[in-house]
Amino acid sequence: MFEVRIEGVDQLLAKLNKYSAQITELHTSMPQELENWQREDMKRQYPNMQVDAGSDQTVAATSIWPRSRTDVRQRRHQAPQQHRPKQAGPVVRSNRPILRASLFDQLVERMKRLLAGATKWP
């Protein structure tokens, strides 16, 4: 008969448990880092985030508008009625990207630093 003995499995199992704990902590630190990016880099006073935390994964998302959220609403002013043209000209909108490349690069760098610091092989 064959006999197989493996020694040192307990040490490897302890290392894997430590690594698993580090990855589990990322479920809370990643959304927090996304919120910090919005506050510091995007200069948002009130960050807009949706976080869906499950047992195996955490999904954090944010919405970025091309213009102010209040632009959509029609504003009514209390002013005297004046004669106005029947139809106004076209509204010219900016063609620049919604999220600037520099902000996206800052987010990528933040997440790389977080992963490098949080996941180290024990």
Q: Is residue 25 part of a domain?
A: yes
Structure tokens at 24: 């589990």
Structure tokens at 110: 């933040």
* Number of compact structural domains in the chain: 1
Q: Is residue 20 part of a domain?
A: yes
21 or 95: which carries more pLDDT confidence? 21
Share of the chain above pLDDT 70, in %: 84
Model-level pTM? 0.68
Q: Is residue 2 part of a domain?
A: no
Q: What is the mean pLDDT of the chain?
A: 84
pLDDT the model gives residue 52? 93
Q: How far apart are the first and last CA of the chain?
A: 37
Domain limits for position 116: 7-62+98-122
Q: Is residue 74 part of a domain?
A: no
Question: Quick check: 45 and 27 in contact, CB under 8 A?
Answer: no
CA–CA separation, 28 and 51 (whole Å):
10
